[in-house]
Structure 1
Amino acid sequence: MHALIVLAHPDPKSLTHAVAACVGEGVRAAGHSVELADLAAEGFDPRYGQADHDAYRELAPLPADVRAEQARIERADAVVLVYPVYWWSMPGLLKGWVDRVFSNNWAYATRDGRVVGQLQRLRVHLLGLGGADERSYVKHAYDVAMKTQIDHGVFDYCAACVVSSTIRFDTQEPDGRAHLDAAFELGGGVFGERERCRAA
């Protein structure tokens, strides 16, 4: 099996990068292959522009960089998104990747006036790294809002299977070992629960 790990953080020395690397190590230790998509290092352009809009309206083909990202996803049996939580959501770079890559007639389509998801084969793991403590998320239901927006609003909409959705809290603490260990464990289990999708 093959996993695609997508991360969005500008600092290669960040905890986000270290966590993504540990997820990859876990995937490999379980006997699977992995590809890392470092959106910042690769210079992915998150801006949804006229070319994207024309493709959405079926007036032009998808931009080449979008098709390249879709091909990465098509090669994968599972996608793992690793990202810092910014303003109780994913960073703009990753949101722009979703905006552009999960396009009309690829991730979903409209048939007989109904939206139909087209990514049923895809397994998704979401791993957000939050600087605040769990109490802060629960107090105002930010954790629930994130799951509604990301898990349901993006991936359920496209009919992808959200196998796991995790927020690691208190990531500003000096010793991040617990987060790295949890990432390795997640990586080792990426293909361990293929038929269990988290309820939306």
Structure 2
Amino acid sequence: MNILIVYAHPEPRSLNAALKDFAVRHLEGQGHHVQVSDLYAMKFKAVLDADDSVEHPAGERFNPSDASRRAFAEGTQAADIVAEQAKLQWADAVILQFPLWWFGLPAILKGWVERVYAYGFAYGVGEHSDRHWGDRYGEGRMAGKRAMLMVSMGGWASHYSERGINGPLDDILFPIQHGILFYPGFEVLPPFAVYRTSRVDDSGFAAACGALGQRLDGLWSDAPIPFRRQNGGDYAIPALTLRPELAPGRDGLGVHVADDVLATAV
């Protein structure tokens, strides 16, 4: 199988780097093919702007969605965008690896998503009608592929629990797992999380590698998070609201998971 790791940490001697290197060795040792987009080492341009098209007319008002659509359709995207899109098309599974900074993605990884997920590539795909509101949330160009987050945090696991001060980790990651990964069609596996990163010693690192190895071995066998498919009948179209007979009396992020449970693997 082909696995793409999109990696976002600026320090090559970090815990994240060591875990990334372990993941590559482990996957290649199992006979898989691995590519790594090391965004900081690549000095990947994080800012979406008019330069993302090599033929943006000088002086023309910049509309991000329209410019993205035209550049993708006309083959005028910047070379680094085209290269990352080719990696996504090559991959059977994608791992986004990053430290959780200010409750979200590092800016360079957010920029990778904004630039690489072009209109016509990752969004704006499929029929839009009163019966089918685009190929997204379970459909789309990434359908048939799998994805997983490898995320590290300085806080304790309890800080990210159901009653923890930071809020449940599954809620924090929902915009990434549901919005960035499930939206274009990935089957999304529960995240691999490492807590208290500054306190991970040799034995803790060995334990983390052991747990990570098990998760990597399950990339194609572990059950994905059962997010509800947009066009599968659970949502009224075009309102895109969950039908009232599903999860009655409830609201919030959990209703978009078929069994109302987001399972986090540590």
TM-score (norm 1): 0.89
Number of equivalenced pairs: 198
Instruction: Provide the C-alpha distance between the structure 2 equivalents of 1:42 and 1:183, rounded to a whole number of angstroms.
Output: 25
**1:18 matched residue in structure 2:** 18
CA distance in 1, matches of 2:196, 2:208: 10
Residue identity (%)? 30
The secondary structure found in structure 1 opposite 2:135 is strand
State the alpha-carbon separation in 1 of the partners of residues 102 and 26 from structure 2.
29
Alpha-carbon deviation of 1:57? Answer: 4.3
Question: Counterpart of 2:244?
Answer: none
Cα pair 2:96 2:148 within 8 Å, conserved: yes
Tell me by how many angstroms 1:189 deviates: 2.8
Aligned to 2:254: none
Bigger shift: 37-46 or 52-61? 52-61
After alignment, is 38-47 or 103-112 more displaced?
Answer: 103-112
Matched, 1:189 2:212: no
Question: Where in structure 2 are the equivalents of 1:66-145 lying within 5 Å?
Answer: 66-110=81-125, 111-112=127-128, 114-117=133-136, 118=140, 119-138=142-161, 139=164, 140-145=166-171
- Does the CA-based 8 Å contact 1:6-1:39 persist in structure 2? yes
Gaps of 5+ in 2: 53-63, 228-266
User: Which stretch of the first structure deviates more once superposed, 179-188 or 121-130?
Assistant: 179-188
Calculate the aligned-residue CA RMSD, in Å. Answer: 1.9
Query: Matched residues in 2 for 1:105 and 1:146: separation?
Result: 28
1:180 to 209, 219, 240: 209
Aligned equivalents of 1:30, 1:159: Cα separation in 2:
26
Q: Residue type of the partner of 2:68? A: Y
Deviation of the 1:127 alpha carbon: 0.9
Report what 1:50 is aligned to.
Answer: 50
Q: Which protein is richer in strand relative to its size?
A: 1
Q: Deviations over 1:16-70 (max 9, x none)?
A: 1111111112212222111111111011111111244253242663222111101
The answer as to 2:195 corresponding to 1:169 is yes
Q: 2:174 matched to which residue of 1? A: 148
Query: Larger Cα Rg: Structure 1 or Structure 2?
Result: 2
- 8 Å contact from structure 2 (residues 148, 189) kept in 1: yes
TM-score (norm 2): 0.69
Distance across 2 between alignment mates of 1:62 and 1:132: 40
**Helix, strand or coil for the counterpart of 1:108?**
coil
Determine helix, strand or coil for the equivalent of 1:80. strand
| 1:90 Cα deviation after fit | 1.6
Aligned-pair distance for 1:100? 1.0
- Please report how far the alpha carbon of residue 95 of structure 1 lies from its aligned counterpart in structure 2 after TM superposition: 1.0
Q: Which has the higher contact order (CA 8 A, sep 6+)?
A: 1
Alpha-carbon distance in 2 for matches of 1:73, 1:198: 21
- CA separation in 1, counterparts of 2:69 and 2:33? 36
CA distance in 2, matches of 1:9, 1:155: 20
Cα distance between partner residues in 1 of 2:155 and 2:174: 19
**Runs of 4+ residues deviating >3 angstroms:** none
Q: 1:147 to 1:199 in 2, by over 3 A?
A: farther
State whether residues 6 and 82 of structure 1, in contact with CA within 8 Å, keep that contact through their aligned partners in structure 2: yes
SS of match in other structure, 1:167: strand
